[in-house]
């Protein structure tokens, strides 16, 4: 990986941080949220070397993943219909169950196709964000407050918190040893991972923009405090203004790229919260008995999405606060 370029984006990185972000990238790639490849050869040229490159294999992988989810969903619907024919289950619960499964499938496939068909836009956004790091060179070294977290720490905390809830969900999953249940949970969990990681990817990008904006704002503040030559002020101020406008432009493009996927993911999250809330409250309105283990599992599913939503809201708030 081009460590020089990455260093210019995020100050004081360690080797472990670089490895961590590379692992995060391949995690996104595994679930179809990064159809590009990473440029690993260092640049010997003085010109900018893109961090991300095109990958036809990544696009093909997303198409195969989307087709696989569609086929499994079709089988699940047939099994579910047969199951409901032999069991007395309320119409409302059937409707919520169908809606939840269908929304998971539609949202996951939509996200996969967006990243597949708009690879060029994703690549362009990534490389332009890296370019912002190059433009930071030459400005004041900003002293970060002890209470302020670095981008690396933000991202690590995000994935640790969500990862812990996922482990709790897996640990409390009951399949009963039935093949159909294994297939059902595998498909739902795959879709859920795609949806959750989309929210987290967007949150991480917002944190990156927030860090860059913070450095720019601190430099503006530094110029107002320290006396220096007028010509130097004009040059540096012009560069800062260019950088600030570039960040705002990229932020708008990122918002346009993620607008529909994020909206659909949020809608699915709320459908899921309703689904599991209705499942937990079912014993209160009917004679259905639910085990403590099932209640624990549903609670972890709810907690997982609540945590993801909180992370998203905090990231949006942090980015907006640097603009205002």
pTM > 0.75: yes or no: yes
pLDDT digits (tens, 9 = 90+) for 198-253: 999 999 999 888 888 888 888 777 776 666 656 666 777 777 788 888 888 999 99
Q: Has residue 44 been placed in a domain? A: no
Residue 197 lies in a domain: yes
pLDDT tens digits for 119-129? 999 999 988 88
The pLDDT, as a whole number, for residue 278 is 82
What's the rounded Cα separation, in Å, for the pair 190 and 72? 11
In the chain, the number of structural domains is 1
The answer to whether residue 99 sits within a structural domain is yes
Residues in the chain with pLDDT values less than 70 = 1-17, 40-50, 83-90, 92-93, 133-134, 136-149, 224-233, 287, 324
Q: Is 98 a domain residue?
A: yes
Whether residue 134 is contained in a domain is answered as yes
For residue 45, what pLDDT is reported? 42
Residue 220 lies in a domain: yes
Residue 7 pLDDT? 42
CA distance 7 to 313: 28
Task: Return the number of other C-beta atoms located less than 10 Å from residue 316's C-beta.
Answer: 15
Q: Is residue 288 assigned to a domain?
A: yes
State residue 23's pLDDT score: 85
* C-alpha to C-alpha distance for 281 and 16, rounded to whole angstroms: 45
What is the reported pLDDT for 142?
A: 57
Residue 111 is assigned to a structural domain of this protein = yes
Rounded Cα distance, 10 and 44, in Å: 21
Domain span holding position 132: 3-38+49-323
């Amino acid at each position: 990986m081009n460590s020089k370029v990455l260093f210019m984006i995020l100050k004081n990185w360690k080797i472990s941080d670089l490895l961590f972000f590379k692992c995060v990238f391949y995690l996104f790639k595994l679930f179809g949220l990064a159809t590009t490849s990473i440029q690993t050869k260092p640049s010997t040229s003085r010109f900018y070397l893109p961090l991300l490159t095109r990958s036809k294999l990544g696009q093909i992988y997303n198409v195969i993943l989307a087709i696989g989810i569609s086929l499994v969903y079709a089988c699940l619907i047939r099994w579910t219909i047969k199951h409901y024919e032999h069991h007395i289950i309320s119409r409302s619960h059937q409707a919520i169950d169908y809606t939840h499964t269908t929304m998971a499938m539609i949202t996951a496939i939509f996200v996969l196709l967006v990243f597949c068909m708009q690879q060029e836009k994703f690549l362009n956004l990534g490389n332009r964000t890296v370019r912002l790091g190059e433009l930071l060179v030459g400005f004041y070294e900003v002293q970060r407050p002890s209470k302020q977290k670095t981008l690396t720490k933000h991202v690590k905390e995000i994935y640790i918190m969500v990862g812990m809830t996922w482990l709790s969900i897996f640990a409390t999953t009951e399949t009963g040893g039935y093949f159909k249940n294994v297939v059902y949970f595998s498909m739902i969990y795959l879709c859920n991972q795609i949806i959750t990681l989309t929210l987290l990817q967007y949150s991480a990008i917002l944190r990156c923009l927030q860090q860059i904006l913070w450095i720019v704002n601190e430099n503006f503040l530094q110029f107002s405090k320290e006396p220096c030559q007028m010509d130097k002020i004009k040059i540096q101020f012009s560069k800062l203004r260019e950088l600030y406008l570039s960040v705002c432009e990229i932020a708008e493009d990122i918002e346009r790229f993620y607008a529909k996927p994020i909206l659909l993911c949020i809608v699915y999250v709320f459908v899921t919260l309703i689904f599991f809330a209705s499942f937990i409250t079912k014993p209160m309105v009917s004679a259905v008995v639910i085990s403590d283990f099932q209640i624990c599992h549903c609670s972890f599913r709810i907690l997982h999405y609540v945590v993801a939503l909180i992370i998203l809201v905090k990231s949006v708030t942090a980015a907006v606060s640097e603009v205002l």
